[in-house]
């Protein structure tokens, strides 16, 4: 019989081997191409920030929690955002110093969500997921695509942010409903938001302790200093104004004062181990060495980092272009024009006549251009907003009008029904849209539609994706993890047409 000391050495060695095996890198290959490597970790502390409804303060809490954990605790935090979104992730990325990633169970399957979470939390101390809308709100009665569904996929405890405006004892009824609505979901605690005064906080805490037994992990007083400014599409993007960075500091200082950071970290540490095996998501093989230009400035900020990474994996060099200041188009093989707020910067875009002319000339010469939402607006002849008209690139035969209400909002499913420069006919794509603009004065004799809309609105309720020469301009936003072939399609087109279009195009005249 081995002695006790030898047995302890043996058991320690076994534990080390188990940890080593769990942390081993899964490296797999398939016909789709080289795969991202996902390091399997036995434990990832994590939280999901949810709420009973939208505009409860989830983003403010998430931004404040990130800022305070980084500044007060010295932690590295990986942010995530539930659902399709560009604006909230911009704030979370700025605070964390790491690219925020989106997790969406309508666009992505369970394996991709888990692989993304495990991949991007590598090297971080914990992951924080900001939810969207109400915790259980999804695309159907079963809550498909909800924040709760994401929390269950990654097995994360939920912290419920409750807007306590004009509410006292009723907070217990609200929280009680959320606690028992789905027994498979763990709600670790509550953060009280918009608390009026100390007496108000006492009443709220007493009600929750008496009827729910759920811990209160923070209580934030109401006040404008703890709110992020917003407008017609949601929050103001953090990249638009350097003054917004000061808002991050204010929110972080408030979070350090009003949130129980130690209790929140303990809740995150109570998450169970994620021991999923064999997870991966495809990274396409290189197609060719090309240069793809993107508008990357205050007006155009809507790019998923996974999309740019997928293009680079396919062999593309990303060339950043400032649509507000650069007077010419650099030597590129294609353009990828993402979304943003061109209406806010319409006067500056109009003033940059050189770039507008260069883009129009490049389109006429056949340069491949893939444009989403704001990019579509830039390619129009004119942009009309608040009784003013601004000249855009004039590359496509239509104008755009900004309305007071959303013209398309939510998930979109489109089918490639017509010939176009990028997407094979018959391909079905899950995407999303959120736009107040609509296409008007369209000359249908000069363009055709690429997509039939199966869900959503697109350009006219039936179609999306205008095709003109080598341009495809749509309201649909595509995520590379939902459409893994997208980057290959774009790079392949750029590589095929590069010999004709890789040159500098400069126009300086006023139009």
**What are the pLDDT digits (tens) for 192-229?**
999 999 999 999 999 999 999 999 999 999 985 667 76
Of 346, 355, 408, 413, whose CA–CA distance to 377 is shortest?
346
**What are the pLDDT digits (tens) for 412-461?**
999 999 999 999 999 999 999 999 999 999 999 999 999 999 999 999 99
The pTM of this model reads: 0.87
| SS3 assignment for 160-179 | EEEECCCCCCHHHHHHHHHH
**What is the pLDDT at residue 174?**
98
Q: Is the pLDDT of residue 22 over 50?
A: no
Find the distance separating the first CA and the last CA of the chain, reported in whole Å.
92
Q: Is the pLDDT of residue 240 over 70?
A: no
Q: Average pLDDT of 478-489?
A: 95
Q: Average pLDDT of 258-286?
A: 80
**CA–CA distances in Å: residue 301 to residues 207, 268, 337, 378, 399:** 43, 31, 10, 14, 22
Q: In 3-state terms, what secondary structure has residue 276? A: coil
Residue pair 456/433 in contact (Cβ under 8 Å)? The answer is: yes
Q: Is the pLDDT of residue 282 over 70?
A: no
**CA–CA distances in Å: residue 316 to residues 30, 183, 298, 336, 420:** 22, 47, 23, 11, 21
Q: Which residue has the higher pLDDT, 146 or 6?
A: 146
Q: Is the pLDDT of residue 510 over 50?
A: no
Of 55, 50, 46, whose CA–CA distance to 178 is shortest?
50
Q: Is the pLDDT of residue 92 over 80?
A: yes
- Burial code (b: 16+ CB inside 10 Å, e: under 16) for 142-162 equals ebebbbbbbbbbbbbbbbbbb
Of 62, 70, 271, whose CA–CA distance to 156 is shortest?
271
**What is the pLDDT at residue 16?**
35
**What are the pLDDT digits (tens) for 287-302?**
779 999 999 999 999 9
Question: Could you tell me what percentage of the chain is helix, strand and coil, using 3-state DSSP and rounding each to the nearest 5?
Answer: 35, 25, 40
Of 108, 488, 110, whose CA–CA distance to 311 is shortest?
488
pLDDT band, very low/low/confident/very high, at 25 (cuts 50, 70, 90):
very low
Q: Average pLDDT of 232-238?
A: 59
**CA–CA distances in Å: residue 143 to residues 3, 22, 83, 147, 182:** 56, 32, 13, 9, 11
Handedness of CA 208, 212, 213, 215 (dihedral sign): negative
CB-neighbour burial class of residue 286 (10 A; exposed 0-12, middle 13-18, buried 19+): middle
Of 377, 369, 457, 472, whose CA–CA distance to 425 is shortest?
472
Q: What rounded mean pLDDT belongs to the chain?
A: 87
Q: How many CB atoms are located within 10 Å of the residue 221 CB?
A: 18
What domains appear along the chain, each with residue ranges and CATH number? 41-269 (3.40.50.300), 290-506 (3.40.50.880)
Of 112, 119, 59, whose CA–CA distance to 89 is shortest?
59
Handedness of CA 477, 483, 488, 489 (dihedral sign): negative
Of 291, 158, 255, whose CA–CA distance to 214 is shortest?
158
CB-neighbour burial class of residue 57 (10 A; exposed 0-12, middle 13-18, buried 19+): buried
Beta strand 230-231 with 216-221: parallel, antiparallel or unpaired?
unpaired
Return d(Cα 316, Cα 321) in angstroms, integer: 15
What is the distance of C-alpha 478 from the center of its chain? 11
Q: Is the pLDDT of residue 235 over 90?
A: no
Q: DSSP character for 84?
A: S
Q: Is the pLDDT of residue 336 over 80?
A: yes
Residue pair 331/505 in contact (Cβ under 8 Å)? The answer is: no
Q: Is the pLDDT of residue 34 over 80?
A: no
Q: How many CB atoms are located within 10 Å of the residue 347 CB?
A: 10
**What is the pLDDT at residue 243?**
65
**Which helix (H) or strand (E) covers residue 429, if one does?**
strand 428-435
pLDDT band, very low/low/confident/very high, at 239 (cuts 50, 70, 90):
low
Q: Is the pLDDT of residue 44 over 60?
A: yes
pLDDT band, very low/low/confident/very high, at 165 (cuts 50, 70, 90):
very high
Catalytic residue among 100, 164, 212, 373: 373
Q: Considering only 217-226, 230-239, 389-398, which range has the smallest mean pLDDT?
A: 230-239
Q: Considering only 66-70, 111-115, 133-137, 420-424, which range has the smallest mean pLDDT?
A: 111-115
Residue pair 510/353 in contact (Cβ under 8 Å)? The answer is: yes
Q: Is the pLDDT of residue 500 over 90?
A: no
Return d(Cα 465, Cα 449) in angstroms, integer: 5
Q: Is the pLDDT of residue 355 over 50?
A: yes
Return d(Cα 324, Cα 309) in angstroms, integer: 24
Of 437, 503, 500, whose CA–CA distance to 473 is shortest?
437
Q: Considering only 227-236, 269-278, 411-420, which range has the smallest mean pLDDT?
A: 227-236
Q: Which residue has the higher pLDDT, 500 or 126?
A: 126
Q: Considering only 46-60, 106-120, 217-231, which range has the smallest mean pLDDT?
A: 217-231
Q: Is the pLDDT of residue 329 over 60?
A: yes
Our answer to whether residue 373 is catalytic in this structure is: yes
Q: Average pLDDT of 94-121?
A: 94
Phi/psi at 99 (nearest 5 deg)? -65, 125
Q: Average pLDDT of 381-389?
A: 97
Q: Considering only 174-178, 279-283, 319-323, which range has the smallest mean pLDDT?
A: 279-283
213 Cβ partners below 8 Å, 6+ apart? none
Q: Is the pLDDT of residue 340 over 50?
A: yes
Residue pair 82/49 in contact (Cβ under 8 Å)? The answer is: no
Q: Average pLDDT of 266-277?
A: 86
CB-neighbour burial class of residue 394 (10 A; exposed 0-12, middle 13-18, buried 19+): middle
């Amino acid at each position: 019989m081995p002695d006790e000391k030898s047995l302890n050495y043996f058991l320690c060695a076994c534990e080390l081997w188990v940890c080593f095996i769990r942390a081993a890198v899964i490296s797999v290959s398939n016909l789709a191409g080289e795969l991202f490597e996902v390091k399997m970790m036995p434990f990832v502390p994590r939280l999901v920030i949810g709420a009973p409804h939208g505009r409860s303060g989830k983003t403010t809490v998430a931004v404040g929690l990130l800022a305070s954990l980084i500044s007060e605790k010295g932690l590295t935090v990986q942010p995530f955002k539930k659902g399709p979104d560009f604006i909230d992730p911009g704030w979370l990325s700025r605070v964390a110093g790491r690219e925020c990633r989106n997790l969406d169970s309508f666009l992505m399957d369970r394996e991709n969500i888990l692989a993304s979470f495990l991949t991007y939390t590598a090297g971080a101390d914990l992951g924080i997921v900001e939810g969207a809308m109400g915790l259980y709100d999804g695309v159907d009665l079963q809550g498909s695509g909800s924040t709760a569904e994401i929390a269950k996929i990654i097995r994360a405890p939920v912290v419920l942010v409750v807007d306590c405006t004009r509410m006292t004892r009723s907070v217990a009824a609200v929280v009680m409903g959320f606690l028992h609505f789905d027994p498979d979901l763990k709600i670790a605690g509550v953060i009280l938001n918009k608390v009026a005064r100390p007496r108000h906080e006492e009443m709220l805490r007493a009600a929750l302790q008496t009827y729910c037994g759920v811990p209160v992990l923070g209580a934030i007083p109401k006040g404008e200093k703890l709110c992020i400014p917003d407008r017609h599409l949601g929050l103001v993007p953090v990249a638009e104004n350097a003054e917004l960075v000061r808002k991050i500091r204010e929110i972080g200082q408030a979070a350090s004062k009003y949130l129980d950071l130690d209790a929140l970290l303990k809740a995150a540490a109570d998450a169970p181990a994620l021991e999923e095996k064999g997870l991966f998501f495809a990274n396409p093989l290189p197609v060719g060495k090309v240069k793809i230009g993107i508008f990357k400035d205050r007006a155009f900020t809507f790019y998923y980092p996974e999309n740019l990474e997928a293009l680079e994996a396919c062999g593309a060099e990303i060339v950043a272009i400032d649509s507000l200041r650069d007077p010419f188009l650099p030597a590129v093989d294609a353009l990828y024009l993402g979304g943003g707020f061109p209406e806010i910067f319409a006067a500056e875009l109009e003033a940059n006549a050189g770039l507008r002319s260069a883009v129009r000339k490049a389109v006429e010469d056949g340069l491949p251009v893939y444009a989403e939402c704001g990019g579509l607006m830039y390619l129009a002849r004119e942009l009309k907003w608040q009784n003013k008209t601004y000249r855009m690139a004039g590359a496509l035969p239509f104008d755009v009008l900004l309305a007071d209400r959303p013209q398309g909002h939510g998930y979109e499913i489109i089918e490639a029904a017509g010939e176009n420069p990028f997407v094979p006919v018959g391909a079905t794509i899950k995407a999303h849209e959120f736009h107040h603009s609509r296409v008007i004065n369209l000359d249908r004799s000069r363009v055709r539609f690429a997509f039939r809309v199966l869900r959503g609105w697109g350009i006219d309720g039936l179609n999306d994706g205008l095709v003109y020469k080598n341009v495809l301009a749509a309201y649909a936003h595509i995520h590379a993890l939902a459409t893994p072939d997208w980057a290959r399609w774009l790079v392949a087109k750029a590589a095929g047409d590069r010999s004709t279009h890789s040159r500098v195009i400069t126009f300086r005249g006023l139009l």
